Every structure is written in C-alpha cells, then in structure tokens.
Amino acid sequence: MSIVQEEDNGTIENFCMDLKYGSVFSENTIRAYRGDLYRFLDYQHGRDIVSGFTLREIRGFVRSETARGIDSRSLSREISTLRTFGDWLVETGRLQGNPAKLVKLPKTPAKLPGFLAVDEVMQVLESYDTGTTLGLRNRAVVELLYGGGLRAAEAVSVTIKDLDTDERHLMVRGKGNKQRMIPLPEPTCRILDKWLARRPEFLPKDGNDPGTIFVSVRGRKLDPRDVRRIVASGVKTAARAAGATPHTFRHSFATHLLDNGADLRSVQDMLGHASLSTTQIYTHLTVERLRKAYRDAHPRGKD
C-alpha cells in the first residue's frame, strides 16, 4: 500500500471515528458512509482524497455511479455522504470550502412501506409455540416489534430495567442514542412477563447475564440478524404475511395507529423520528386505503 493510500484510508477512518463519537449517526449509517467514501476513493484512481475533493471530481463520480445503474435513493445517500465528509474536511482545516454542497440531490419517488393487516399480524404471532421457552421468546420478540413499533436493533438492545409491565411502558434508545418512552398494550406486556419468567432457563450457569430482555438459548444478547430469523420463521407458517420483515411490524404499528385516529405528532414520538416528514409517509398509506375502499364500494368509485 502506498503512502497516499495509507493517508487516504486514515482520513476516511478518522472521519468515521468522529461520526461515531459524535453520537449522532448510527453504526449502520457510519458503515454506509465508509463504503461510499471508499467508492469515491476508488473512482479517483490514486489521487489523494482531499486534493481530489473538487466539484469536477464529485460530479464525475456522480455521473459514474449513475452510469453504473444505482438507484436514485442510493445516489442521494452517496451525495449526502460527500456533503457530510466535505463539512468535516472544512471543520478540521483540510479544505477551505465544501464543493459537495453545489451538487444537487436527485429526485427520489416516495416509497410507501409495506404493512400487514391486523389479522395478518395475529397470524404471525399465533404461529409461535408458546408452550416452549424458545417459542415464547420468539413470540415476545415479535409482540414487541408490533406492540411498540421498535426497530430490530432497538428490540435487541432494550434491557429488563427499561421495561415496566405494571405501568405498561418501555424506555427505548434509538438512533443518535435518543431516548423515548413507548406505551405498550396489555397483551404484549402479558407475553413479556411470561417470557421473563422463563428467561433464566437460557442463562449460563456461571451467572453471566447481558441484562437485555431477549437472550439466545446460550444466554447471549440477540442481534438484529436473530430477529430477522425469528420473524422469518413465523412468516413461513403464515401465508398471508409472506415477505414480512422485522420493519414490516414497525410499519404496521404506525399505520394501524393512524388508521384508528392517533395524531401524527404522537406517532412521530413513538417511532422516534427526528422529522415529522418521515412519519407523514404513513398518512399516504391510510389515504390510499381510503381511496381503495371508495373505489370498491361507492357506486361512482370507478368513474
């Protein structure tokens, strides 16, 4: 590896380290930013990343990525990465200005998230055999995804101390390490209590306990991949929920709340969205359902 390559790698890693300790970006976001910057570095063919961080090079990279066929959402993220990196270069005295701010983001069509009907959610929940400790744990995981609208990464990180089933609420640490309080429905709390009563069966004899609500059969903290497998096993036996992922239950949580009259700000708080516009996408889902009901039922709906 050349000295220039080592310096470039060091610059990228220092940037990612600053993002990590700034507690604003999630690990997944930092990982995506790192990959975007290394793609930009590869595009420059040996030119160092700071001196090559020019408007001409950035636009050339965007054209190259467009020609490669990446979608508008991925391209928008790459440009956002370069903008954030450019700001960091300025803040750390490596550049005088940020040319990436002069590059426009492509228009991206609104992508409506998928969701399940209430009976489809129930079909998945009831697919787990709660007569076994493993089945009970798996049901509790999906109950929390749907009952609290949690992301998979949040569900595996909540601790027993974060949960109060008597008061029926949960403290969650979301993106950017922001905390939010989520009310939980009584059926979810009931399943969680049953699981917690049997949770010690999965803990090792040495008493090592990660403290998280959910643990593996060997007593370790679950990770998001485990949650995806748990959901996939339930979806496999629930035909009407085909294709559902952990995030589908979060989408279903939001959609069902809005369908039943919850106000948008409250749903935003429960989901942990920084921007109301992120939550507003769920209103499109409910409007589309109303339009379909109108088209299907009104005498002039098909005119």
pLDDT at 1 over 50: no
pTM of the model: 0.62
In this prediction, residues 277-300 reach a mean pLDDT of: 65
Contact 173, 179 (CB under 8 A): yes
Kindly list the structural domains of the chain, giving each domain's residue range(s) and its CATH number in brackets, ordered by start: 3-102 (1.10.150.130), 118-297 (1.10.443.10)
Q: What one-letter code names the amino acid at 251?
A: H
| pLDDT tens digit sequence for 29-47 | 889 999 999 999 999 876 7
Q: What is the pLDDT of residue 295?
A: 67
| pLDDT tens digit sequence for 50-109 | 888 999 999 999 999 999 988 888 899 999 999 999 999 999 999 999 999 999 988 766
Please list the active-site residues.
151, 175, 247, 250, 273, 282
